[in-house]
Amino acid sequence: DTEVTQTPKHLVMGMTNKKSLKCEQHMGHRAMYWYKQKAKKPPELMFVYSYEKLSINESVPSRFSPECPNSSLLNLHLHALQPEDSALYLCASAPGVGLSEQYFGPGTRLTVT
Amino acid sequence: AQSVTQPDIHITVSEGASLELRCNYSYGATPYLFWYVQSPGQGLQLLLKYFSGDTLVQGIKGFEAEFKRSQSSFNLRKPSVHWSDAAEYFCAVGVNNNDMRFGAGTRLTVKP
C-alpha cells in the first residue's frame, strides 16, 4: 500500500466552528507532514512529525493544532479559522530516516465562511 | 539559504513536441532533488528524484531529468508531450532531515 489518504475531501466551516482533518498512511513511514497550499502557489510547510513527535512548527497560528495519535495517523484540528485560511491542505509522509521523497495525499479543500 | 527557482511560470507546448522545464537550486552540499506533478485540485505525485550517482534520472510517465552541478540545475525533460501531461510541475530540494523546499511551480499547457 503506497497511498496516503485524507478525509474529508471537502470541508466548509464557519469561523466559530471546530473541525478536524485526518490523514492516514500504512507504509510504515515515521515522518508525517501538513502543508497548506493556496491557488497557483507551491505547498507551504506547516508541521512535521518525526517518530510521532512534533519536530517542526513553521510559526503556524494556534488556531491550527496538529496531533499524531500513532505512527499511521495525523490529524489537524481547526478552531476559529479566518477566511484567509481557505486553501488545499495536503498531508504527506516519508520513511523518516534521513532525507527522502515524500508521498502526498489528495488533499482536503477547506473553505472558511 | 537553500532555495529552488523555476524561471518559467507558464509554458505552452504542442502535443507531440518535446518539453524541458527548468529548475535551479541553491544549496551548499550535494542536494536531494525532486520533481513533482500536480493536477488541478489533486495532491502531488513524485515524478523522479536524484540523490547521487548517475546524473541522468529516469522517472514515471516518460519523464527524465539531468542533474548538472556546474549549472546548479535539475531540468525536467520529456521527448513527446501528451495532452494528459498538462498540469503544474514543482521542483523541490530536500534540506536537512525531514524538510523540503519547493519552487514556485511551472504550469504546463498542451495545445492539441
Are A48 and B104 inside 8 Å of each other by CB? no
Task: Tell me the C-alpha distance between A30 and A77, whole Å.
Answer: 20
Question: Which tens digit of pLDDT belongs to each residue from A58-91?
Answer: 889 999 999 999 999 999 999 999 999 999 999 9
B-interface mutation test, from A46, A101, A103, most B Cβ less than 10 A away: A101
Task: Tell me the C-alpha distance between B35 and B16, whole Å.
Answer: 21
Query: At residue B96, does pLDDT exceed 80?
Result: no
SS3 A82: coil
What are the backbone dihedrals phi and psi of residue B67, each rounded to the nearest 5 degrees, phi first? -85, 125
How many CB pairs below 8 Å do chains A and B form together?
A: 57
Query: At residue B58, does pLDDT exceed 80?
Result: yes
In chain A, the residue whose alpha carbon lies closest to the alpha carbon of B107 is A40
DSSP A35-50: EEE-TTS--EEEEEEE
Are B105 and A104 inside 8 Å of each other by CB? no
Identify any residues that bridge with B37 across adjacent strands, giving them in sequence order. Answer: B45, B89
Q: Which of A72, A73, A51, A74 has its CA nearest to residue A64?
A: A74
Q: Which of residues 16-75 of B touch A (CB under 8 A)?
A: 32, 34, 36, 41-46, 49, 51
Question: Which tens digit of pLDDT belongs to each residue from A6-60?
Answer: 999 999 999 999 999 999 999 999 999 999 999 999 999 999 999 999 988 888 9
Burial of A52 per CB tally in 10 Å (0-12, 13-18, 19+):
middle
Are A42 and B102 inside 8 Å of each other by CB? yes
* Residue A3 amino acid letter: E
Query: CB contact, 8 Å: B103 with chain A?
Result: yes
- All residues of chain B having their beta carbon less than 8 Å from the beta carbon of residue A4 are 43
Strands A44-50 and A31-37: antiparallel
What are the backbone dihedrals phi and psi of residue B62, each rounded to the nearest 5 degrees, phi first? 80, 10
Q: How near does any CA of chain A get to the CA of B33, in Å? A: 9
Q: Longest C-alpha distance within chain A, in Å? A: 40
Are B99 and A48 inside 8 Å of each other by CB? yes
